[in-house]
Copies of this chain bind each other. A is one copy, B any other.
Amino acid sequence: MSRWQPDARGRLEKAALELYAERGYERTTVAEIAERAGLTERTFFRHYADKREVLFGGSADLFDVLGEAAASAPEDASPFGVVSAVLDVVADCFPEERRPHSRRRQAVIDAHPELRERELIKLARLSADLSAALRARGVAGPTAELAAETGVAVFKVAFGCWIGADEHRDMKTLMCASLVELRAVTAGGQG
């Protein structure tokens, strides 16, 4: 982030979401987003490739957080112990003040198939990264993939609840509830 433009990324993201809500995603231009943020188009393109990417800027942070958390989990942690530790740190990326923003963002994404596809791809990359981090710790391939995929599923379900209209519980609580539910579901036999 440049020193003379404190939080240019955050301002662009906020401006973009306001405009997408006001006039629709299709009808919003990069020039308008930059103007609303009080920045130039050149600055926009220094941070984001296009108006779609503005919605996914936060995932770069998530990738960092995930990598750090996976690397710093206790050496003797089980594969799913690492995943739990990662989810715990990821939950901190979704503080209460971010919730209205996340709700608006999801409404835009849900309304556009190409944005939903983009989101799926980012989630798949999160899962692949988590799986790679587990393999780097010596976990066997299939186990690493299963642990990573289920971890991302736990996150998706918790996040879906968190942005629900009447949901007041925080992300940590919901992530924990989702994890407990996962264990109950997978323990529940073939019956």
Chain A contact residues, CB within 8 Å of chain B: 76-81, 84-85, 117, 120-121, 124, 142-143, 145-147, 149-150, 152-154, 156-157, 160-161, 178, 181-183, 185-191
Contact = CB atoms under 8 A, between A and B. Distances in A.
The 3 A-B residue pairs whose C-beta atoms are closest, nearest first, are: A149-B153, A78-B188, A186-B186
Contact of A189 (B80, B117, B142, B147): B80
A146 B142 contact: no
B120 A189 contact: no
A81 B150 contact: no
Chain A residues touching B, majority SS: helix
A174 to B, nearest CB: 9
Contact of A185 (B76, B150, B153): B150
Contact of A188 (B81, B121, B156, B191): B81
A76 B190 CA distance: 11
Contacts of A146: 153-154, 157, 178, 181-182, 185
Given A149-B153, A183-B187, A191-B76, A142 B161 contact: yes
Contacts of A154: 146
A161 to B, nearest CB: 6
Contacts of A150: 149-150, 153, 182, 185-186
Contacts of A142: 157, 160-161, 178, 181
Given A124-B120, A157-B142, A183 B186 contact: yes
25 contacts: A77-B190, A78-B189, A78-B191, A80-B185, A80-B186, A80-B189, A81-B188, A81-B189, A81-B190, A84-B190, A120-B120, A142-B157, A145-B156, A145-B160, A146-B154, A146-B157, A146-B178, A146-B185, A147-B185, A149-B150, A149-B152, A149-B153, A150-B185, A153-B153, A183-B186
